[in-house]
Structure 1
């Protein structure tokens, strides 16, 4: 049993059923991800589901920038041990920077390739994003770095789930390897912060709660 599971069970009686369901689902998918080191695409999927299990409460607002930023900001504020900062600025700074610099994980790149936006708009968007990245790194703004990073994850997720990536392709291996390393490190910290601050962070009921049909 994971130490995280023991922590969850020790707090379980104090928390709401909705909150416990979120953590239970998040832990289940995180545990599955730990078994998939040789299958990075499915490891990434499992980690991504684990994140959404603890985060999403409305399928129509999952991509809302303000909602994601607020969630990440709250986690960082409650992280009294500064574990998230340690991961961002020390332990995983290199793969995080690599993902942020990866233009293939920038959605505007693909929007231009698919003729949804002009080259000028694509270049302007990439220029703005690069400036946001530089500002976040210079200011050591952990919340902003996480926000930018998770938007890279969203792009990778959409590529994968919509058949835009070849299974076990060498072209995407580094992106999946780095993404899995970072998500696998962040998820137990996120879950632990939620558990230890359940009263303040008990979100609305899950969008898909347990339901029985007679």
Structure 2
């Protein structure tokens, strides 16, 4: 399937501006890598997350704000692919992530002594997320889910987890599976709507010989 997306990108490249072509080129390349990591949930989760970041990242300030992109994607998703993914395929795993304190940022801040208490905010956040689920508020629910997974991303990629460990296995497996199902939907929507403004690239392609000049994506 990665080859199909690459071919669509080549066929439609004239419809996209350079930044969007570069964004999709990078994202599909990392999704292809994620497909090759089927034997390791850790590596699949990492490479799939990088693919998602290629779609989302518009600045280098390290702030993960998924809601704007999710709102755009859901608005364009006439076939309600994201809705069906969350409510029919991954409803159980999404609920498990929402109720899991180990993927809740303030939990770890409290363990480091940066926060006095995390339980009250965790309960409120969980109720809010479950309300989004019951009320079919797709962008908000997806943004909360990805925010939870971003904590897992920090833990895994920041050296806070053992490779192949059984300690965080459920959330790593769930995260990898959810991202591997979500990314093709994102690619399809981004490829189908070249007229949409998807934001600037945080790291555009720059010519080494002329630092002020961006170069075509084919030279990446």
Give the TM bin, normalised by the shorter chain: over 0.9
Instruction: Return the alpha-carbon distance in structure 2 between the equivalents of residues 60 and 51 of structure 1.
Output: 17
Q: Which runs of 5+ in 1 are unaligned?
A: none
Choose between structure 1 and 2: higher helix proportion.
Answer: 1
User: Displacement, 1:153?
Assistant: 1.0
User: Displacement, 1:203?
Assistant: 2.1
**1:50-72 residue CA offsets vs partner (Å, 9 max, x unmatched):** 011111111116324xxx21110
User: Displacement, 1:142?
Assistant: 1.1
1:130-209 residue pairs with structure 2 within 5 A? Answer: 130-204=126-200, 206-209=201-204
Question: Any conservation in 2 of the 1:194–1:201 contact (CA below 8 Å)?
Answer: no
3-state DSSP class of the match of 2:204?
coil
1:8 alignment counterpart: 9
Is 1:73 aligned to residue 68 of structure 2?
no
**1:128-167 residue CA offsets vs partner (Å, 9 max, x unmatched):** 1122122112211111110110111110011112211011
- Equivalenced residue count is 208
TM-score (norm 1): 0.92
Question: Any conservation in 2 of the 1:25–1:50 contact (CA below 8 Å)?
Answer: yes
TM-score (norm 2): 0.90
- The partner residue of 1:105 within 84, 98, 103 is 103
Question: Any conservation in 2 of the 1:99–1:149 contact (CA below 8 Å)?
Answer: yes
2:207 alignment counterpart: 212
3-state DSSP class of the match of 1:71?
helix
Question: Any conservation in 1 of the 2:95–2:130 contact (CA below 8 Å)?
Answer: no
**1:152-198 residue CA offsets vs partner (Å, 9 max, x unmatched):** 11100111122110111001111111001100000010111011112
Runs of 4+ that moved beyond 6 A: none
Instruction: Return the alpha-carbon distance in structure 1 between the equivalents of residues 85 and 132 of structure 2.
Output: 15
Which has the higher relative contact order, 1 or 2, with Cα contacts under 8 A spaced 6 or more apart?
1
Q: Which runs of 5+ in 2 are unaligned?
A: 210-220
Question: Any conservation in 2 of the 1:56–1:62 contact (CA below 8 Å)?
Answer: no
Question: Any conservation in 1 of the 2:45–2:172 contact (CA below 8 Å)?
Answer: yes
User: Displacement, 1:34?
Assistant: 0.3
